[in-house]
Structure 1
Amino acid sequence: MTDSKKKRMSMLDNLAAAGAHPAAGSMMSSNRALRSARDAVDAHHVWEIDPAEIEDERYTDRLDPQDVHDLRASIEQNGQIVPILVRRHPTETNRYLLVYGRRRLEAIRGSDKVSKVRALIAKLDDTAALRAQVSENTGRRDLSYIERALFARELLDSGFGSQAQIAEVLNVTRSAVSMSISVANAVGAALAHAIGPAHGVGRPRWEALAKELSDFGIDQDELCRIAIDVRTKAGASEQVVDEPQLDPSVLAFDAVARHLKKSASQSRGQKPKTKATALLIDGMPVGTIKRSRQAVRLDLTHVDVAFAEWLDVRAQEVLEELHGRWKRET
């Protein structure tokens, strides 16, 4: 084997060694996924492709993928050192689907000096492509906790697979996936994007934030405004050279957490309010639905016994149908 070919074949292996150093189990999983991608590369050849021929239909795994200004300047000055990975489009000729390298692709798309993107072309199915995407990001810089949580929820909502399958792809336990999805649901995409990735803010603090959001039902629009305002001011201010650089998204998280804690403290001193609404069937009252800050209670005290038995058997099915309708409508 020639030195040139050896260099090309080891290119994806080198990606796993770049950047942060994950735990041993995570590193082994990352290496396996990246080597599988390497073995599927067409002739281990680096191609130059028109960026317009590449589609990005992947699951979103980062909250700030468009932050590419510095990367574009580096590529224009030094060239694109590391290729992106694409796979051939299943139905269209001369079209490709991005596996990983979104920031490099976006940087070159926005450049008026570089017209082609250097890429490896692999034969991968959807699952293998997703594994390669996750492994490449893990090898370079771990996704933050909230990025992983939103990523897991997107995989679940899109029908990618069960929580166990998602756990396997992300190389975590099923319980960790379940908890992260709960956090993502409580925080919501809007607030998460307003705060940003917040690297360094780990699971316990996000779980505490999610719990207070769920317990006290505080207006998230106001929290989004607080987060965006903090990030905007942090981005506009000049930080002192030779001092630790403050992450605007961490500052935004801290501001939101402080506001939540203050609001929660005030709410604890107030008596919880319960709102009851009468329920009717064929114009006749059959019970009430009561909603407090933390719960919803359904009392059906005047319904037909046969209907009550029917509902008792199908309660889970009816609840899931209503939840699915709610998701479609909202």
Structure 2
Amino acid sequence: MTSKSSRKSIVANFGLLSAELENRLSSDAPAVPQQPAPASRVGAGVIGAAHRAIDDIKSERDRLKALVESGGGAIRELDPSKIDPSPFPDRLPDDLASDFETFRNSIRSEGQKVPIQVRKSPLSPDRYQVIYGHRRLQAARDLGIPVRAIEVEISDVELVIAQGIENADRQDLTWIERALFARRMDDAGVKPRDIKASLSIDDPELARMRAVYRAVPADVIEAIGRAAKVGRPRWAEFAKAFSEQAGLHAELRRVLAAAREKRLGSDQKFLAAFNALKPAAPSHKPGLKILGAAGEPLGTVLRTAKDIRISAETPAGTEFLRFVEAELPTLAERFTHEKSKI
């Protein structure tokens, strides 16, 4: 088999993914016998049709990967400057530059072992878009060397499914990175069933992601970063606080800007942002002392914007409280009378 014909085979098979997914999701009966999927791959609540669709796509991707590794795929060397990011970014910046430096040095010393995957850019005929392999592409850019790549013909829907499955296999995306990936697909009009297939999630998990990314603007999430130690429950609490504390949004952005200047890690940025959404505790100002005619202490009065509180400190003060309580109807009547004169 020639390289050209093998590449066409890869392209053709990738082109079948979206149609296969739609057919499987619209059918009640499985087309082929299925093996139980590993529990770590798919959420417990995913319906049977989604299980079959995702498993079929993974099997197809694995078959194509084996074909490439056996030498049947056409691997080319491309100029990294002619390759644009995926239209659906799935990663936030790494906290530790040293991690990427180690990765880049391994490519410098050992070469690029695994090719990236690209497609022709829909926006420019002489450019490409990366499907997956963003870190390998960036390393090649930094090193000033060509990047080894496989070109396939693939639609947007097929791209996000392939990209999502590749990410699921790596299992190193944080919860918020996966949610942000879902948001970008949602904004681009990708159907919910394809978003779920791409991320191997079910309806409830997509709903939880939407509750967060529809409440919290993308620029705030990107300013916080990967937040590797922050899971869904804390992000859900953050989204709720963000929705309820609109008056603190400016302060939150100021705090994030300061955190960036201090080069804080993303987990620390999340904590700082969350604390910025907590309303200030009411100040405990000392109350005004109430004294009798002879200077004897009767109590303390503390007034806030919405209430007034009198506390007794002596037996005479207790009697004073009873007096005030008895006088309240008269005071209310006087208040109404005085207000009517205005």
Residue in 1 that maps onto 2:167: 137
What CA distance in whole angstroms lies between the structure 2 residues aligned with 1:92 and 1:253? 38
- In structure 2, relative to structure 1, the CA distance for the partners of 1:40 and 1:259 (3 Å cut) is same
- In structure 2, relative to structure 1, the CA distance for the partners of 1:198 and 1:84 (3 Å cut) is same
Is this contact kept in 2: 1:85–1:122, CA < 8 A? yes
Q: List per-residue Cα deviations over 1:136-155 (Å, max 9, x = no partner).
A: 12222332122222221221
Q: Is 2:212 the counterpart of 1:183? A: yes
Q: Is 2:85 the counterpart of 1:85? A: no
Q: Is 2:236 the counterpart of 1:207? A: yes
Residue in 1 that maps onto 2:300: none
- Name which of 233, 249, 258 aligns with 1:220: 249
SS at match of 1:110: helix
- Name which of 28, 39, 61 aligns with 1:34: 61
Residue in 2 that maps onto 1:75: 107
Is this contact kept in 2: 1:22–1:138, CA < 8 A? no
What CA distance in whole angstroms lies between the structure 2 residues aligned with 1:223 and 1:55? 32
Deviation of 1:25 (Å): 3.0
The letter for the 2-side match of 1:249 is S
Is this contact kept in 2: 1:33–1:132, CA < 8 A? no
What CA distance in whole angstroms lies between the structure 2 residues aligned with 1:259 and 1:22? 38
Residue in 1 that maps onto 2:183: 153
Deviation of 1:270 (Å): 7.5
- In structure 2, relative to structure 1, the CA distance for the partners of 1:259 and 1:54 (3 Å cut) is closer
The letter for the 2-side match of 1:96 is Y
- In structure 2, relative to structure 1, the CA distance for the partners of 1:36 and 1:159 (3 Å cut) is farther
Q: Is 2:136 the counterpart of 1:104? A: yes
Deviation of 1:77 (Å): 2.6
- In structure 2, relative to structure 1, the CA distance for the partners of 1:94 and 1:38 (3 Å cut) is farther
What CA distance in whole angstroms lies between the structure 2 residues aligned with 1:234 and 1:225? 14
The letter for the 2-side match of 1:184 is Y
Is this contact kept in 2: 1:144–1:198, CA < 8 A? yes
The letter for the 2-side match of 1:254 is L
What CA distance in whole angstroms lies between the structure 2 residues aligned with 1:204 and 1:234? 25
- Name which of 271, 284, 290 aligns with 1:254: 271
Q: List per-residue Cα deviations over 1:149-184 (Å, max 9, x = no partner).
A: 2221221111122x3332222211123212212211
Q: List per-residue Cα deviations over 1:94-153 (Å, max 9, x = no partner).
A: 6433111112112212223xx210112234333222111112122223321222222212
Residue in 2 that maps onto 1:118: 148
Is this contact kept in 1: 2:161–2:197, CA < 8 A? no
- In structure 2, relative to structure 1, the CA distance for the partners of 1:39 and 1:249 (3 Å cut) is same
Is this contact kept in 2: 1:144–1:199, CA < 8 A? yes
Identity %: 35
TM-score scaled by length of structure 2:
0.59
Largest Rg, 1 or 2: 2
SS at match of 1:186: coil
The letter for the 2-side match of 1:51 is P
TM-score scaled by length of structure 1:
0.61
Q: Which runs of 5+ in 2 are unaligned?
A: 2-37, 44-53, 284-303, 307-342
Q: List per-residue Cα deviations over 1:165-224 (Å, max 9, x = no partner).
A: 322222111232122122112221121111111012111100011101111214323213
For this pair of structures, how many residues does the alignment match?
Answer: 236
What CA distance in whole angstroms lies between the structure 2 residues aligned with 1:184 and 1:167? 15
Is this contact kept in 2: 1:228–1:252, CA < 8 A? no
Q: Which runs of 5+ in 1 are unaligned?
A: 2-20, 236-247, 272-330
